[in-house]
Structure 1
Amino acid sequence: MFRLSIHFLLVSSLTYIMPGAVLAFDDPTMPASFVQSSSPKRLTLESILYSDTRKVATISGQVLAEGDSIDGKKILYIGRDSVRLADDAKELTLTLKRSSIRQVK
């Protein structure tokens, strides 16, 4: 009985001391293929490298060229200040902020 009381006290105190750690455990009854969806990931155009021989864009931390895909969207065109992407349903254009555009010669 004494061991059961100490065990209960220890577990309940962990709930108050480290609630994030206790809640972070995976549910053993959850199917292995289950993925908890969060809000849709927003694509962010961070930079563009544009020259006569090379066109590369950094989108959400990934360096991509025309024809590459990110989050199910294919890059159709990389311009000097924008990137055009498309999936089966629609087309999307990401544009750099004017304050971040600079030309290097």
Structure 2
Amino acid sequence: MSASKPATPTFSPDAYGATDFAKVDAHTITAEEYDELPELTEADLKAADTYRGATLIRRGRGRPPVTQTKKLVTLRLDPDVVERWKASGPGWQTRMNAVLREAMP
């Protein structure tokens, strides 16, 4: 194999199921082993999978629903106006919305 693709071990079904659960259950965790465990942060807990028994509880896909959604409109503007807003960088549509809101009677 090449250096960029090292040889990977082949799959062997005999390698699975060889855990000695009696030995695992008999092991007691020492204070030194606790020191090796990383502290969990709020971000870690939010990203963790949730199980109910052996069933994975899946989170919904995409963004969470918002209470006030935006309305999609088609608006004809002069090209120089659009280019100037786009040149202001990311978030130009949000800034344009704020300016229009201020101009509302």
Which of the five TM-score ranges fits, normalised by the shorter chain? Answer: under 0.3
**TM-score (norm. length: structure 2):** 0.27
**TM-score (norm. length: structure 1):** 0.27
* Higher helix fraction (1 or 2): 2
